[in-house]
Amino acid sequence: MEELINKLKKEVIEQLNLEDITVDDIDPDAPLFGEGLGLDSIDALELIVLLEKNYGIKIEDPKDGKKIFYTIRTMAEYISAHKKA
């Protein structure tokens, strides 16, 4: 799980152009939206694309996004549970 978390951090930084943020700056248990990284609604859409492009996971119900993208750890847990073999 920790390996996936670190990989996700790198992917999120790259996908969302968080240039002044390093992997160490991201607390895997801190909320991604609102405070913390201060992501916005367009970032949320980019995260949906990231899951589909990098892990083949399609989020059918956008309402699920709030739980899935709560933190890096919740994202990693969702990927582990749903990643296609």
Partner 1 sequence: MQNHLITGWGVIRQNTVIVDGQVKEIHEKFITFAEFIKFLYKKEQVGYPKFYKMDNLSKLGFLTAELVLKNRDLKNNYRSEEIGVVIANSSSSLDTDFEYFETIKDKNNYYPSPSVFVYTLSNILIGEICIRNQLKGENAFLVSEYFDPGLITSIVDDLMRNNRIQVCICGWVELFREKYESFICIVEKEERLKHNNENTLNYCLLTKENLSRLCLNNGI
Binding site for partner 1 (CB under 8 A): 16-20, 38, 42-43, 45-46, 49, 52-53
In angstroms, give the least distance from the CB of 1 to partner 1: 26
Please give the DSSP secondary-structure letter assigned to residue 39: B
Taking the least distance from each CB to partner 1, the nearer of 10 and 38 is 38
Q: Judge whether 84 and 57 are in contact, CB under 8 Å.
A: yes
For residue 62, the one-letter residue type is P
Taking the least distance from each CB to partner 1, the nearer of 42 and 85 is 42
Residue 80 CB-density burial (10 A; 0-12 exposed, 13-18 middle, 19+ buried)? exposed
In angstroms, give the least distance from the CB of 37 to partner 1: 9
